[in-house]
Structure 1
Amino acid sequence: MLRRVIALSLLLCCAPAWAKPRWQELPPTPAPLVGETAGYAAVNGIRLYYARIGSGPPIVMLHGGLSNSDYWGHQAEALASHHTVILVDSRGHGRSTRDDQPFGYDLMTDDVVGLLDMLRIPRADVVGWSDGAILGLDMAMRHPDRVGKVFAFGANADPSGLIEGVEKNPTFAAFIDRAGKEYEALSPTPKDYGAFVDAVGRMWSGQPHWTEADLKRIRTPVLIADGDHDEGIKRAHTEYLAATIPGPGLLILPNVSHFAFLQDPALFNAALLAFLDGQ
């Protein structure tokens, strides 16, 4: 099914020769969905923002570093007809607070587990992008009883998987600038974006640091996915993840980058639904 989706996209997405390639675009961040129910969970010393929409088996959606849960708007809309979609602003991101603890993937994963505890959800699928994908894989390693499937888009297992100088890429630089404006509009500490970026950057420089043995502990069904023009993740590293985690799928979406879910939401959603629901 995934191969057919990709082939169809290649036929339909062709743009005029003078148009800007889709993978160089940064479409607008979606607005929050009408019908979302929002709240805060007191977990691990912070107030963690979340929103719920839809009904059915639960799916937790985890965004990338520096961003917020609004980025998942196109996907939440597609999933909400058959799932309870739980959108989370990671600690210090979006509307969530942070404390003096340094950013760390284990801590942020434990925040998600704390939220599930508060919501009395014993087990959920996880859809993650970038840092959110890392959280999904970490959850599969350390809390395997709490996670069903993991759709991991744009993940890395250690800092060697990152492309050096990604912040200078025009598309990624535009994202960083946009993220700053969104931080100022949403954050409880709107003037602290610089300090926030520095703190997240320290995490990126040393985490995650998973060994091959760590990855081979995963028994959760996983789809490792990325765009064929990802600005920040090395293709060889994505392939390494898929080759090392026991039994995962590997999906490389065409003509998109680290921001595929915005650049081609129809293709992204088709891949997501095919993995989660077998459609």
Structure 2
Amino acid sequence: MTTASAEEFETHRPRLFGLAYRMLGSAEEAEDTVQDAYLRFSDIDRDRIEHPAAWLAKVVTNLCLTRLTSARARREQYVGPWLPEPVITSDGTLGPLESAEQRDAVSLAMLVLLERLTPTERAVYVLREAFAYGHREIAEALELTEANCRQLYRRAVRRVEEREARFESTPERQEELVRSFLMAARDGDLGGLEKLLAADVVWFSDGGGKVRAALRPIEGREKVFRFLAGASRTFLTGVDFTVVESNGSTAVAAWAGDELLSVVAFELRDGLITQAWAVVNPEKLAFVRRQLARVA
């Protein structure tokens, strides 16, 4: 590949990473996918590519479809709840997140919901919603008919829109609530902690069998409270916390020295925590650890 071609590819890399991450829910696999696309771009005769952006998006999308097909089998055997890999978004890694809709589109809640879709439905939905592709462009990328793409999109939207809208609070209010949760947990203020939990709160922990974590979602204020009370007594000694922006919203990173132990993201409603996603699988923290090391 010529220097000019390599430089051209780099102008597309952030967008391609964003596409692959939304498709896969894995930052590490997204990086690998984009690198595979780079290798294909470097090997092909550039005269055969009329529109590099469209060509690369098609390549990345189809590489992701291949990965998703094999990933489904692996995730069915996954130990405990499977959660997407968190990504720090305050550095623009997933593009500008200037509206509630943009933040919601990259939230862990949305990425978990996209797991309900078939790989092709997910591709159609992501290309349409996140990248504003027309149905004709999507059909060309996936080598489907335009009518089929429209049908897949409608089906995906029905499944995704079952979820209530989030981000009723402003980003400032979100951060205030998360900091209140963090302070209560750090100080052992169990009464204050309980007051921040919604009656129907659900806590998800993803350890992947690598570290100790709840193997099923913990549902209800009383059960989540007991879980957090036990964790505060057993695991929080010597742990430091930092507030970060992960997947478009305020999250908490837990550290033991230089070791990143977890990233916990929250969904909030009416000033209370309704869902929490705690990623503690070390393999899923590698990308975000590198991101945080760069800004340390």
When normalised by structure 1's length, the TM-score is 0.29
| Structure with larger Rg | 2
Higher helix share: 2
